[in-house]
Structure 1
Amino acid sequence: MQFLLTAINAKFIHSNPAIYSLRAYAGEKLQPYIDLAEYTINNKMDEILNDLYKRHPNAIGFSCYIWNWTLIQELIVELPKLLPETDIWLGGPEVSFEASGILREYPMVKGIMVGEGEETFRDVMAYYVGNGRPEIGSKYHSFGDIPGLVMKERENRKRNLADLNELPFFYDRLLAHASMNMECQSFDNRILYYETSRGCPFKCAYCLSSIDRQMRYRDVKTVKRELKFFLSQKIPQVKLIDRTFNCRRERAMEIWRYLAENDNGVTNFHFEVAGELIGEEELALFKTMRPGLIQLEIGVQTTNWDTLKAVCRNTDIAHIGRAVGIIRDYGNIHIHLDLIAGLPFEGYESFKKSFNDVYVMRPYQLQLGFLKVLKGTVIREKAKEYGIVYHDKPPYEVLYTKWISYDQIRKLKQIEEMLELYYNSSQFMYTLPALQQAFASPFDLFEKLAEYYDEKGYFTSSPARSYRYQVLLEFAICYTGLRKDLLKELLTFDYYLRENAKSRPAFCGDLSRHWDEMCIFYQKEERSPRYLGNYSGYRARQMMKMTHMEAFYYDVWDSGRGTELRRHHSPRFVLFDYEKRNPVTGQAQSQVVELPKSI
């Protein structure tokens, strides 16, 4: 007997903790009969089908979500043609709320594991393996008796929620034997997911987490021990999937203190938090943390009070704004804020206000998302009442509502793309503030930029990353009234903050007249370092290749500080050091340097 737990992730860097947890909870006696397989939605269906066929399992279980359900539907239709003796099982949020209907539509599926699956899957495996194995044995006489299953013939009784303290920690097993286990090697360059709680105390109408409001917590001592494992392994990033990590503030503070006290200087921990619960004590602790130790994601979603009421959110926008502003000024924590377009009572102009309200909080990333009308949510039940029309297929994204038209949604989609390319990329952190001064609001800037892209046909033929700087220059010349030489210097500064480019963009100034001075600078740094002490042992020519120097007539590094950028008569020289990067923004260290006239 071999059961293949199968995950199809949205991206390669993602992993699927659900299938790891199912196998770990099954226990040592059953684990030899359980294999794991992970793919991405970028794999072709036939590629996955071929790999599943080669494995020839007795049973396959698919972990189903909105991002992979369409692909899984194709697979479960084709698999029985190649593996007619293989049982097909489904589980996950995408199939838990309409399980009986899915079984009618796909009669080749043996059954669906509804809700949390650890105990249910263990019992399924015990039934498969236990026949004739008294040391394993199943306490159930058929699949129809196992709680948490929906079968074609009947819907079994519901399964009680699991005690989180009984769930084993699975990463030690997965990572400790990476040299012997091929599936463990796949964790290289991938995000690890970890949970310390399940449930959510809030009841947001659009969110699946609102269905499970019974909070369950993993013991803090256990959490600390498991976090210590991540720290000892120097995992680059651990993303906590607790729906609202700080809903119990003292517990959150204890864990954050532990991370601060045991920081390894490498690992980054990502938390989803409620911004209105961040108080003075949290702010004081955050201030002391190493840059890059943690990052925070806060779902603001909207600043429209009627909308907040309709979706059952009691949000203190002013409090969030103050907390985010203070953390942003610390400069040591990556702040990610979310907005949702297409919510009830939010039209285009209202969303514009929400966008501007959140943008001025200065998050490092502002995600403009679109309402997903998910199965099992209140918003799906009230979709007709609110005039919400959405795609029939996952991810069930909004098309239009009573308050916002499809044309306006299309426009917001284009604005979202501009936001991703020019704001969330962190590649234009000094150019954008200067451009914003020419527009009535940040939203107006991105709206006009989207119109420019549309007019030029760039949405269908997207410019390469390096050429986006040139596109922004052309746009700014047309619509901002800023001096061309200033715009070029702003873009040059942004460009070299990100990378030590081998080829020099056309918009950058001519450095040939300063070449001799720059050579003397590096020769002096080789003999008696003042700025590049971390390059000890390197020759001047090597340092020139590993760093970059640029001449600026404007103090472009002051962009966004409210001061007018005036042109100097002579240039100031900036040194970009790529060995020293800001762990929050990823930007190279930059500093104004003095060039010697002679060695």
Structure 2
Amino acid sequence: TLVEDTYPLASSLLKSLRSYSKIPIIAGGVYIYSSAEEVINEDFVDMVCVGEGEEALIELCQKMKDNEDITNVKNIWVKQEKKIVKNSLRPLIDLNNLPFIDFDIFEKTRLGRPMFGKVYRMIHVEVDRGCMYNCPYCEAPSIRKKYKDSVNSKYYRQKKSDRIVKEMKYLKKKYNADYIDFDAESFLARTPKSLREFADLYKKEIKLPFWCQSRPETVTEEKLKILKDMGCSDLQYGVEHGNEEFRVRVLKRLGTNESIIKACKLTEKIGIPYTVNNIIGFPDDTRELVFDTIMLNREIKPKTANCYLFTPYRGTELYKYCIENGYISKDSKTKQLLDGGEIEYSKITKEELYGLQRTFCLYTTLDAKFFSKIKIAEQFDEEGDAMFLELKKEFYKIKGW
């Protein structure tokens, strides 16, 4: 299973595997949606799965077991002699019919996750699949379009409340879990009625702390009270950028800074700890725009503020924009999640972005009188590293860590 960040490592591993074995190799995952042609033409890949793999992989394996023709399995592209057989997409599956997730192949210690100074046995539970929003830095819009155009289906689907709870009840008992990670792009996108139905079952059958993520515009006081009553211990908001005009024009995210602040303050009032996720280094970004994001976080005052570097993923609208405007070449590849990709910025340097990312939480948390010192800590040299360590102690003191 591939995402763009892991493709270089996966390629290396698969090349090694191919040198030792002729076992058929199939590649799937979100990266295939945008790069199926590239991957299927690799010498170490025999097949790719374009689309969901649950049913396709079972059908493929059954045909291989029965020595039947494998070139007509929907969602699967297969190399056959000197040509590639490209099968069409199959209809989307009903998520409620999937078997419960199985963690048995992993070591038990893999379930351990640190949260707020404690290590929990955390289980990952899918409550929906896909996303209804159109963020140009995410591949969700292009996946939705692919399924709409090919099989006239809506990729975004929600599982039924009782189905989710049955799975959690099973996993909680089997793996002795004491924390839940809800896999949903925007958990509060559910209607209040649906959320209340789910909450009633959750409190009765599960009763574990959990974290989830959502968008500020999905927040209402009613929904937050339901989350609080369920036992939510961390709610993560995707704010992404602090400049309102840039956020609407470039990121296609509606909602004013005032509405974001209101949602966060309401979350604090209800008593749910929350985290704000931010992205810096978008095309056309500047130091001034990054500081708009910093200043919005200073006003929000979240429990935690995460800062990530923008990555131009293939299949996204901003990937195309970056190519068209000379930020990246057509051959550019993302090598790791936190690196931000091979972007050539025109209004800010990559080194400056790395420094702002390192000091982001210092800027959003410490008193403004520290700003001149924080600027020194942006530098990756002896003086900057020493200042960063000094200010980090001040940060920990404020956070009580």
TM class by shorter-chain length?
A: 0.7 to 0.9
Contact 2:283/2:322 (<8 A) preserved: no
Distance 2:367 2:39 in 1: 50
| Aligned CA distance change for structure 1 residues 64 and 182 (closer, same or farther; 3 Å) | closer
Deviation at 1:288, TM superposition (A): 4.4
Which residue in 2 is equivalent to 1:113? 49
2:167 corresponds, among 209, 219, 226, to 226
Q: Give the direction of change, closer, same or farther, for the CA distance of 1:263–1:319 in structure 2 (3 Å limit).
A: farther
Question: 1:543 maps to what in 2?
Answer: none
Equivalent residue, structure 1, for 2:223: 282
Corresponding residue of 2:198:
255
What does residue 68 of structure 1 align with?
A: 6
- Asked whether 1:149 is paired with 2:76, we answer yes
Higher relative contact order structure (alpha carbons within 8 Å, sequence separation ≥ 6): 2
CA drift at 1:92: 0.8
Structure 2 counterpart of 1:410:
351
Cα distance between partner residues in 1 of 2:273 and 2:170: 23
Q: TM-score under structure 1 normalisation?
A: 0.56
Q: 1:94 matched to which residue of 2? A: 31
Q: Give the % identical residues.
A: 20
CA contact (8 A) 1:270 1:295 kept: yes
- CA 1:167/1:186 → structure 2, altered by over 3 Å: closer, same or farther? same
Counterpart AA for 2:179: Q
Deviations 1:203-237 (A, max 9, x none): 11110122244221111221222233455565233
Distance, in Å, in 2 between the alignment partners of 1:320 and 1:257 is 28
Q: Which residue is equivalent to 1:203? A: 134
Match of 1:169? 100
Paired residue for 1:347, among 261, 264, 286? 286
Deviation at 1:444, TM superposition (A): 6.2
Residue pairs, 1:262-273, within 5 angstroms: 264=207, 267-273=208-214
> 1:297 touches 1:335 (CA, 8 Å); kept in 2?
yes
Q: Distance in 2 between matches of 1:321 and 1:128?
A: 56
Counterpart check, 1:364 vs 2:307:
no
**Aligned match of 1:295:** 234
Q: How many residues align?
A: 372
* Alignment correspondent of 1:35: none
**1:545-556 alignment runs, 5 A limit:** none
Change (3 A) 1:155 1:247: same
2:40 is matched with which residue: 80, 88, 103? 103
Name stretches of at least 5 consecutive residues in structure 1 with no aligned partner: 1-62, 132-140, 175-180, 424-431, 475-486, 499-599
The 3 A distance-change label for structure 1 pair 196 and 472 is closer
Are the aligned partners of 1:418 and 1:450 in contact in 2 as well (CA < 8 Å)?
yes
More helix by share: 2
Report the equivalent of 1:450. Answer: 378
Say whether the 8 Å CA contact 2:188–2:214 is kept in structure 1: yes
Higher Cα Rg, which structure:
1
Note closer, same or farther for the CA distance 1:457–1:317 as it changes in structure 2 (3 Å cut). Answer: closer
Counterpart contact for 2:334–2:342, Cα < 8 Å? no
Change over 3 Å in CA distance of 1:303–1:82 after alignment to 2: same
Query: What TM-score, normalized to structure 2?
Result: 0.81
1:381-416 residue CA offsets vs partner (Å, 9 max, x unmatched): 2223344337534348245466633x2x32221232
Give the 3 Å change call, closer, same or farther, for CA 218–330 of structure 1 in structure 2: closer
Tell me the amino acid that sits aligned with residue 125 of structure 1: C
Q: Does 1:308 align with 2:251?
A: no
Residue deviations 1:116-146 (CA, integer Å, cap 9, x gap): 1101101111112234xxxxxxxxx422111
Q: Which stretch shifts more, 162-171 or 390-399?
A: 390-399
* Cα shift at 1:365: 1.6
Name structure 2 gaps, 5 residues minimum. Answer: 114-121, 145-153
- For residues 364 and 473 of structure 1, the distance between their equivalents in structure 2, rounded to whole angstroms, comes to 16
Distance 1:123 1:262, change over 3 A: closer
Q: What RMSD, in angstroms, separates the aligned Cα atoms of the two structures? A: 3.1
